[in-house]
Structure 1
Amino acid sequence: MTLFSKAPIFTLALMAFAATIRIAEACTRVLWNDNDFAVMVGRTMDWPESTQPILTVFPRGLAREGGKAGADVVVADNPARWTSKYGSIVATIYGIGTADGMNEAGLAAHMLYLNAADFGPRDSGKPGLQAGLWAQYLLDNAATVVEALKLFEGVQIVRVEANGHNANVHVAIEDATGDSAIIEFIGGKPVIHHGRQYTIMTNDPTYDQQLALLDKQDFSKPASDMPLPGNVNPVDRFQRATYFHALLPKPKTEREAAASILAIVRNVSVPFGAPYKGFGIYNTEYRTAADLTAKRYYFELTNSPSVIWADLSAMNVEAGQPVRTLNPDDISLSGNVIGGFRPSPAPF
Structure 2
Amino acid sequence: MPKRLTAAAAVSALCLTAAGPAALACSRVTWLGPNQQVITGRSMDWPYGFNSHFYVIPRGERLNGAGGVNSLSWTSRHGSVVVSGSTEPGGAIDAVFDGVNERGLAANLLYLAENDFGLATAPAGRPRLSFAAWTQYLLSQYATVKELVQAVKADQIQIVPVPFGPGGKAKATVHMAVSDASGDSAVIEYLKGKPVIHHGSQYQVMTNSPVYSEQLKLNAFWSTKDRTHELPGSIQSPDRFVRGSYYNEQLPPTSDPRQALAGVMSVMRNISVPWGTPDPEHPNISPTWWRTLIDQKNRVYYFDSALSPQMVWVNLNQIDLAPGSGVRAVQIEGNDALQGNVTRQLKPAATITFLAPK
8 Å contact from structure 1 (residues 181, 195) kept in 2: yes
8 Å contact from structure 2 (residues 36, 182) kept in 1: no
Aligned residues: 336
8 Å contact from structure 1 (residues 289, 297) kept in 2: yes
Q: Give the deviation of 1:154 after TM superposition.
A: 2.5
Give the residue type in structure 1 aligned to 2:160.
Answer: V
Q: Give the deviation of 1:191 after TM superposition.
A: 0.8
1:111 to 109, 124, 127: 109
CA RMSD of aligned residues (A): 1.7
Match of 2:156 in 1: 154
Tell me whether 285-294 or 161-170 shows the greater mean CA deviation. Answer: 161-170
Give the residue type in structure 1 aligned to 2:259.
Answer: E
Q: Does 1:24 align with 2:19?
A: no
1:238 to 236, 241, 244: 241
Give the residue type in structure 2 aligned to 1:312.
Answer: L
Q: Does 1:132 align with 2:125?
A: no
CA distance in 2, matches of 1:194, 1:318: 31
CA distance in 2, matches of 1:135, 1:32: 21
Q: Does 1:196 align with 2:189?
A: no
Give the residue type in structure 2 aligned to 1:317.
Answer: L
Q: Does 1:257 align with 2:260?
A: yes
Change in Cα spacing, 1:88 to 1:203, as seen in structure 2 (3 Å) is same
CA distance in 1, matches of 2:14, 2:217: 10
8 Å contact from structure 2 (residues 33, 254) kept in 1: no
Q: Give the deviation of 1:337 after TM superposition.
A: 1.0
Give the residue type in structure 1 aligned to 2:78.
Answer: Y
Matches within 5 A, 1:174-185: 174-185=179-190
1:170 to 162, 175, 198: 175
Q: Give the deviation of 1:11 after TM superposition.
A: 3.0
Change in Cα spacing, 1:276 to 1:124, as seen in structure 2 (3 Å) is farther
8 Å contact from structure 2 (residues 15, 236) kept in 1: no
Match of 1:6 in 2: 7
8 Å contact from structure 1 (residues 31, 42) kept in 2: yes
Q: Give the deviation of 1:332 after TM superposition.
A: 2.1
Give the residue type in structure 1 aligned to 2:256.
Answer: T
Give the residue type in structure 2 aligned to 1:110.
Answer: N
Runs of 4+ displaced beyond 4 Å: 219-222
Q: Give the deviation of 1:241 after TM superposition.
A: 0.7
Give the residue type in structure 2 aligned to 1:87.
Answer: G
TM-score normalised by length of structure 2? 0.89
Match of 1:71 in 2: none
SS of residue matched to 2:324: coil
Give the residue type in structure 2 aligned to 1:210.
Answer: Q
1:294 to 274, 298, 302: 298
Change in Cα spacing, 1:277 to 1:29, as seen in structure 2 (3 Å) is farther
Change in Cα spacing, 1:222 to 1:10, as seen in structure 2 (3 Å) is closer
Q: Give the deviation of 1:254 after TM superposition.
A: 1.3
Give the residue type in structure 2 aligned to 1:99.
Answer: F
SS of residue matched to 1:148: helix
Matches within 5 A, 1:258-273: 258-273=261-276
Q: Give the deviation of 1:25 after TM superposition.
A: 0.9
Match of 1:276 in 2: 279
CA distance in 1, matches of 2:280, 2:303: 25
8 Å contact from structure 2 (residues 102, 299) kept in 1: yes
8 Å contact from structure 1 (residues 119, 158) kept in 2: yes
CA distance in 1, matches of 2:164, 2:16: 30
CA distance in 1, matches of 2:324, 2:35: 37
Identity of aligned residues (%): 38
SS of residue matched to 1:193: strand
Tell me whether 144-153 or 258-267 shows the greater mean CA deviation. Answer: 144-153
